[in-house]
Amino acid sequence: MNNMKLGVNIDHVAVLREARVVNDPDILQALYVACESGADQITIHLREDRRHIQDSDVKNIMAHSKVPVNLECSINKEILNIVSDIAPHRATLVPEKREEVTTEGGLDVFTYEDEVAFAIEQLHDSIIPVSLFVDPSIEAMEKSKDLGAEMVELHTGTFSNLFNMLNSSLPHSNHSVKEMELPRYRLSELLEESLEQIKNSAVHANKLGLEVAAGHGLNYHNVHEMMKIEEIVELNIGQSIIARSVFTGLKDAIKEMKKLTTR
């Protein structure tokens, strides 16, 4: 029995495509492979700056997906209007800053309480269930419930960064997370704390009747920690899956080209 849903975030395929502004790799091919390979859900993020997923991708994915589509979006009015028109299976409200590389923290449901409430209302008017991508805290769970969300997605970025800083060669590379360059015992303590926060938030959200998802930075090494938390019923994972696919597919891709370039 499997009571964990895997949402596969295919934005990263569009990142590669946009680097060349050609239709290669084709996002619909990624959709097809994801559905055929057991993805329970497709997750995409229509960013305000359209750096990867484009409006036409959202429409095409909605038209062809064999599994539910979880559309991530900011609380920007223009984006919300598009999402309301498209009516995905679910909308996940996320914070968005143009200068960030990826979604670097959860949605601040306290400072932007009114805007989030308005966004939820607009999406509900279009019969779209709403998830809020929030940092794991008891207060954020309660606020999410009060605001009328059906679901929360716990931001696992801090946990993932701590895990990678503690267990991999990351601290010795130029991708080190500078603010986490700490002694190992301290990283260990912080990792425990962050797992506690995720666990306690998941339990609390569950008690409040919210569905609980988690995502950001999860990979082949750290995902087992999320599997231990029964209240989490969905994981949304992108970067590590697409990164892994380069290496599971590179050999065949080179061999195929080698065949074509052999006289």
Catalytic residues: 45, 72, 216
Distance CA 32, CA 118 (A): 35
Are 229 and 252 in contact by the 8 Å Cβ rule? The answer is no
Rounded to whole angstroms, how far apart are CA atoms 71 and 93?
Answer: 9
Which distant-in-sequence residues (6+ apart) come within 8 Å of 41 by Cβ? 5, 6, 7, 8, 67, 68, 69, 70, 89, 234, 236
Query: Using CA atoms, how far apart are residues 158 and 216, in angstroms rounded to an integer?
Result: 9
Instruction: Report 4-23 residues binding ligand PXP (CB under 6 A).
Output: 9, 11
Q: Does 161 bind ligand PXP (CB under 6 A)?
A: no
**Which residues does residue 214 pair with via DSSP β-bridges, in sequence order?**
154, 235
> Per CB under 6 A, which region of 30-38, 59-67, 110-118, 232-240 contacts ligand PXP?
232-240
Is 46 or 195 the residue whose CB approaches ligand PXP more closely? 46
Check if the beta carbon of residue 67 is closer than 8 Å to that of residue 39: yes
**Contacts of the segment 23-27: beta carbons below 8 A, 24+ positions apart:** 27/53, 27/57, 27/60, 27/61
Assess 25 for contact with ligand PXP (CB under 6 A): no
Beta bridge partners of 45: 72
Nearest-approach distance from CB 202 to ligand PXP, in angstroms: 15
Determine if 58 is a binding residue for ligand PXP (CB under 6 A). Answer: no
Amino acid present at 50: R
Q: With respect to ligand PXP, which residue has the nearer C-beta, 246 or 254?
A: 246
Q: Which of 96, 115, 153, 231 binds ligand PXP (CB under 6 A)?
A: 153
Total interface residues for ligand PXP by CB under 6 A = 19
Rounded to an integer, what distance in angstroms lies between the CA atom of residue 52 and that of residue 17?
8
Among 8, 190, 218, 229, interactor with ligand PXP by CB under 6 A = 218
Nearer to ligand PXP, 48 or 256 (CB): 48
Using the rule CB under 6 A, which residue among 103, 122, 144, 164 binds ligand PXP?
103
In whole angstroms, how large is the CA radius of gyration of the chain?
19
Interface with ligand PXP (CB under 6 A), residue from 52, 217, 229, 231: 217
Chain centroid to Cα 219, Å, comes to: 12
- Per CB under 6 A, 115 contacts ligand PXP: no
Segment lying near ligand PXP (by CB under 6 A), choices 29-37, 75-83, 144-152, 209-217:
209-217
In the complex, minimum distance from the CB of residue 260 to ligand PXP, in angstroms, rounded to a whole number: 32
Taking the complex as a whole, how short is the minimal distance between the CB of residue 259 and ligand PXP, in angstroms?
33
Task: Write down the least CB distance from residue 220 to ligand PXP, Å.
Answer: 11
| Interaction residues for ligand PXP, span 77-96 (CB under 6 A) | 92, 94
Q: Cα(243)–Cα(56) distance, rounded to whole angstroms?
A: 24
Positions in the binding site for ligand PXP (CB under 6 A): 9, 11, 45, 72, 92, 94, 102-103, 133, 153, 215-218, 236-240
